[in-house]
Chain A
Amino acid sequence: MAGSITIKRGKDIKLVGASEKTLHPYSSADVVALKPTDFNGVTPKLLVKEGEEVKAGTPIFYEKQNDRVKFASPVSGEVTEIVRGAKRKILEIRILADKEIRYEEFGAADSSAMSKEQVTDKLLDAGMWPLIRQRPFSIIADPFSMPRDIIISGFDSAPLGPEMDFILQGQEREFQAGVNALSRLTKGKVRLNVSSKHHGATVYKDIEGVDKTEFSGPHPAGNVSVQVHHTEPLNKGEVIWFVYPQEVVIIGRLFLTGRYEATRRIAINGSMINKPAYAEVMGGTNIKGLLAGQLKEGHVRVISGNVLTGRQVAEDGFLGFFSSQVCAIPEGDHHKFLLTEGWLSPGFNRFSMSRAYPSWLMPNKTYDLDTNLNGEIRSFVMTGQMEKVFPFDIYPMQLIKAVMANDIDKMESMGIYEVDAEDFALCEVVCTSKIDIQKVIREGMESLRMEIA
């Protein structure tokens, strides 16, 4: 264990509906989808047409800027539909899965005998390169660059986040193979950040070839940028790569079996789920079957990912590429009368970090929160709130304002390279003025990326 770091600022929002550590009996979905919108800054170029047969591992589209970065199909079957949005933007490529999955064979390999180029080529050829992303900007890593380090955040600290011990159970060998392959890609360290509190320490016990750091403290302790900031901060001009634990396993499988096996475990939870548990699913799976009989009555919002950073999906939508969680919470699309549920209510049931509601006196209370904004969008008025949930040596509000003003110099000097939109999720939650901060930051980072490209 290389060291331990305590994150002081942040907040664990305790929600109703945590997953029990059991697997849902669930037969694999018949349709899966690959969504180019899951990848920041990617312009997809299709390689298949509707009606074409593909195998698991067949490239479906590639990135316009770099045609070697391909995106593989997670299943074998027939491309049934290419869903397009405004300006013919590709939203989903739907594939009807075979009962028995046929794989493209890329050949097992021992990464310890391979060079960086060989490992890179193997991942690129298998259409699995997009599993590796980089900071700054949280875009797919540039395969021909040298990252300072590769970071694996070994735990998920978000509300109702899945427990990695359960997710990775029995896959230690694959994880180790993935780590071995990743370690060929950098001259720096492969860092594995773990947390005993956030359930995820036992699976990593015997993993070798990594620099382990123990993190404790509230969310966002599990965020990659937070961990990097507290171990070795990212400077302008530096690049780190990051991979989530399940993606490490999938990379490991390629080297062990020579195939793109995209099955993953996900947590299904939230207050609108009857029996919150886990399930083993195909990447990009249709979640309709997954939620069959599981959703409670009422107007529900289904989220692929967690409640802070996930994306809303339809009840018959598809799992996001990087998601390890499907969360369902009630929609808050009703009016709240001021005295009973609104701003003048006593509010013992209202979650707030501000202490303006008495619920803060009950720190262990779990909440059933809906999606209501709980107010209207206003100018920035309150100060000092964001700093309490933003564990960086960065001034969040000033950075947000620099982004709003699109002041590139200020953004750079105030530290935008060190953060990602997800790090502002709690700032967004606590914001009295209900400003969509993650969107602001994401757009600011895109415009910065265009500017310096």
Chain B
Amino acid sequence: MKFLENLVLKQIRPNFTEGGKFERYYSAYDALETFMFTPDHTTHSGAHIRDAIDLKRTMMMVILAMVPALLFGMWNVGHFHNLSNGLPSELWPNMLYGMAQVLPIVIVSYAAGLGIEFILAVKNKHAVQEGFLVSGMLIPLCMPADIPLWMVALATIFAVLIGKEVFGGTGMNIVNIALTARAFIFFAYPTKIAGEIWVSNPGTVDGYSGATALGDLAMTVGKAKDVPEVTNIVSQFSDGGMYSMYNSAMGFIPGSIGETSAVAILIGAAFLIWTGIGSWRIMSSMFVGGLTMAMLFNLWGANAFMELPPLHQLMVGGFMFGMVFMATDPVTAAQTNTGKLIYGFLCGFLGIMIRVFNPAYPEGIMLSILFMNVMAPMIDHYVVAANVKRREKRLKLKTA
């Protein structure tokens, strides 16, 4: 390590510090140096010792938590591609095809996002903050596998610039970056991210329409429950059907790259909760919120979509992925512990509501989280106000 330290810190560094050849690019150099070496900064005021945690470690933990969903996503992409083309679904061919489809998206997302971050850091002479390390992975995971790469780049640039940098960068944004990118494509290029596009380069084999479970369910809205079109779809959700509970939970259904397998996502959730990085409050209350709304719809039962069993309702679409990775973003979620419970509950509750009430937006979760991101500061405001009121009451009791 001494060799590397000498090379980087003694040979390369002087080129970038004041008076060096590339002085202007110090921020970019600094980002890479601090990536390799935690700097020699020591405490100057206050506590003399500090926790070993930093933003890099935090972000790394989240990325690790996404690995199961990413790997499964790659397999899933290959799986449906092969099946729809009449090829056997086998582990390695599936993985290889999936990797070929997914890795370019990951690379483009990181390149575009980090590119913007570095350019702005150099221009404004500030450090590159690590926020995008997670966003860069979240963006591919909530995209369909066939999304054109230029769209990924454009959406990422939009999300980083308009979603984050205009507000002041990492830690200052109002809404989740990855969801901003997804929403951008959703509204700008709806045909590329909705409808029957969810099987990658589909073949001609019957039964792989390229729709998602939610897309199919949305077709049932506004129709009588007993017409064949509806009963056909509903039968897909029973045991042995394409969208059976087992298939939905395991992830053997088409969908965005990372969202399909509840099991893979829950492994990530367990890791996030175990390390304490992800908020169990948000995850659990969002789960309860979603279940509650789904149960209420069950009771109502106006159409087949509403009648889907609550747990099944949560396993399809982006609910689990949104719950574990999107809603828990600490910057855009509520920040008080009580606030987190309320925020999470409403994310789930509204997500299922939007999904069922407005079949044009089958991805209700994305919209509900974005909406609750905007509402989160207000929730916190009232939670803190309650605390303030308690204090005032105590004072009044005292003076009374």
Contact = CB atoms under 8 A, between A and B. Distances in A.
A398 B380 contact: yes
A371 B54 contact: no
Interface string A72-115: 00000000000000000000000000000000000000000000
A372 interface: yes
Given A308-B48, A356-B58, A429-B47, A331 B42 contact: yes
A352 interface: yes
A144 interface: no
A395 B384 contact: yes
A438 B36 CA distance: 29
A374 interface: yes
B334 to A, nearest CB: 8
B123 interface: no
Contact of A376 (B5, B39, B281, B395): B39
Contact of B51 (A335, A351, A438, A439): A351
A312 B38 CA distance: 23
A307 interface: yes
B166 interface: no
B38 A431 contact: no
Given A378-B170, A379-B169, A398-B336, A429 B42 contact: no
Contact of A373 (B1, B50, B127, B331): B50
Contact of B57 (A356, A371, A380): A356
A434 B5 contact: no
A373 B169 contact: no
A436 B44 contact: yes
A66 to B, nearest CB: 28
A342 B57 CA distance: 9
A395 B382 CA distance: 12
Contacts of B45: 436, 438-439
Contacts of B34: 376
Contact of B56 (A329, A375, A426): A375
A104 B97 CA distance: 90
Interface string A335-359: 1111011111001001111111101
Contact of A371 (B42, B281, B398): B42
A354 B276 CA distance: 6
B58 A382 contact: yes
B227 interface: no
Interface string B214-229: 0000000000000000
B57 A379 contact: no
Interface stretch (B75-83, B112-120, B385-393): B385-393
- Which residue, B43, B56, B383, has most C-beta atoms of chain A within 10 A? B43
A236 B392 CA distance: 9
B40 A393 contact: no
A186 interface: no
Given A395-B336, A395-B384, A372 B53 contact: no
A355 B53 CA distance: 9
Contacts of B44: 436
Given A350-B52, A379-B170, A235 B277 contact: no
Contact of A333 (B35, B40, B171, B274): B40
A351 B44 CA distance: 19
Nearest to A372: B42
**Size class of the contact patch on chain B:** 35 or more
B379 to A, nearest CB: 13
A393 B384 CA distance: 10
Interface string B276-311: 110101000000000000000000000000000000
B103 interface: no
Contacts, number: 214
A413 B275 contact: no
Contact of B335 (A341, A397, A425, A431): A397
A379 B47 contact: no
Nearest to B41: A373
A340 B4 CA distance: 13
Nearest to A357: B52
A175 B80 CA distance: 80
Contact of B53 (A332, A333, A354): A354
Interface majority SS on A: helix, strand, loop or mixed?
loop
Contact of A379 (B43, B51, B171, B388): B171
B144 interface: no
Contacts of B130: 378
B40 A334 contact: yes
B4 A375 contact: no
**Size class of the contact patch on chain A:** 35 or more
Interface string A369-389: 111111110111111100100
A48 interface: no
A249 to B, nearest CB: 27
A235 B394 contact: yes
- Which residue, A371, A383, A414, A429, has most C-beta atoms of chain B within 10 A? A383
A289 interface: no
Contacts of B394: 233, 235
B202 interface: no
A46 interface: no
Contacts of B169: 379
Contacts of A414: 384, 387-388
A371 B53 CA distance: 14
A13 interface: yes
A309 interface: yes
Contacts of A421: 46
Interface string A214-251: 00000000000000000001011110000000000000
- Which residue, A238, A329, A351, A359, has most C-beta atoms of chain B within 10 A? A351
Contacts of B355: none
A331 B50 CA distance: 12
Contacts of A340: 1
Given A356-B277, A438-B47, A335 B5 contact: yes
Nearest to A233: B394
A335 B8 CA distance: 11
Contacts of B52: 347, 350-352, 357, 359, 374
Contacts of B42: 301, 331-333, 370-373
B330 interface: yes
Interface string B324-364: 00000011010111001000000000000000000000000
A432 interface: yes
Contacts of A309: 46-47
B49 interface: yes
Contacts of B170: 378-379, 381
B171 A380 contact: yes
A375 B47 contact: no
A229 B51 CA distance: 26
A236 B48 contact: no
3 closest A-B pairs by beta carbon, nearest first, are A375-B54, A379-B171, A438-B46
Interface of A: 13, 159, 233, 235-238, 301, 303, 307-310, 312, 329, 331-338, 340-344, 347, 350-357, 359, 369-376, 378-384, 387, 393-395, 397-398, 413-415, 421, 425-426, 428-434, 436-439
Given A374-B52, A383-B333, A413-B391, 14 more contacts: A301-B42, A301-B48, A307-B47, A335-B37, A335-B38, A338-B35, A347-B52, A359-B52, A374-B38, A374-B50, A378-B170, A381-B331, A383-B330, A428-B46
Interface of B: 1, 4-5, 9, 34-58, 60-61, 127, 129-131, 168-172, 274-277, 279, 281, 330-331, 333, 335-337, 340, 380, 383-384, 387-388, 390-392, 394-395, 398
